[in-house]
Structure formats: structure tokens, C-alpha cells
Amino acid sequence: MSSQAPRRGLIRAGVAGVLALAMAGSAVAGVVDHGVYKVERTVLPYWQVGSVDKALSRACSMGTFNQRVPYRFAGHFYGPSGNAMLGAAKGAGLNLFDPFKRANVQRDYWFYRDRTSACIVMWAPVKDTSAPPVAPQPAAATR
């Protein structure tokens, strides 16, 4: 177990950005625990990470769409409901075994129970980290 406090936030927006930063090759963005890069750590349930893709889940169960190294990049969901460890891969190919080229470059893939017949693959859109953040516009004054 890591002694760092959990990060909280919106899972769909935050996970994609954190995953992109951790997998970009920059300094370690997540917690390193026994060789596993935990790119997300939250008390939210694991099923909020993205949308389930039934076709890719079936391919994962058959061994044709999997993580190259299981749990090399992982999300740790440890809340009271929906606690799990999910493996992560990028649609661009980082940590992804995809011999039939089914992955979309604009997606991050999350694997629940990878390398089993009950594998579930979820995806989330890749957050564009190259664009500068947009500052919120001040509200117009009403008279």
C-alpha cells in the first residue's frame, strides 16, 4: 500500500489526462508500487472509468486484444463499492496487444479481469494535453 493520500475528482475527465501524462514518457506521474505505475487512485467505482465495448471485451476474452504487460499501468479503485484494479493501455499502442488493429488512437483502454474469459474492456476519450487550458470567461454584469 502506498502512504500517499488519494486523488479525488471527476473520473472521466481526470483519468484520461493523468493516463496521458503518465504514459507520455515524462517523469513518473503516478504512484510506483512494486513496478506498477498507478496512473489513477480514487474512491469512485471502477465502472465510471468509461464506456464498455462488448466487441473488444469478447476479443479480450479470446486473447486478441489485451495489455502487453498486465497491470503495467493501472487504476486503483478502492472505494466502498466498485473496488478493483484496472489495467490501462493507449489506443496508439502503448502497452496494447492488438494484432487485428481494432484500437482507436483517440481512446484509452481499461481492462478489468484481463486474460480471463470474463474480461471487460472499457474506453475513455484521450484528453488533448497539447492545447493550453482555456480560462473561464467572467460573467457579464447585469444592470
| pTM value > 0.75 | no
Task: Copy the grid coordinates of residue 101.
Answer: 488493429
Q: Is residue 134 domain-resident?
A: no
Q: Which residue has the cell 493501455?
A: 89
Q: Is residue 141 domain-resident?
A: no
Q: Please state the domain count of the chain.
A: 1
Q: Is residue 109 domain-resident?
A: yes
Q: What are the E-state strand segments in 28-126? A: 31-33, 36-42, 51-52, 66-67, 73-77, 84-90, 96-97, 107-112, 120-125
pLDDT of residue 136: 66
Per-residue pLDDT tens digits for 29-40: 566 666 678 788
How far is the CA of 81 from the CAs of 11, 42, 43, 46, 47, in angstroms? 15, 12, 8, 9, 10
Give the structural domain span for 63. Answer: 11-125
**Average pLDDT in the 127-141 region?**
68
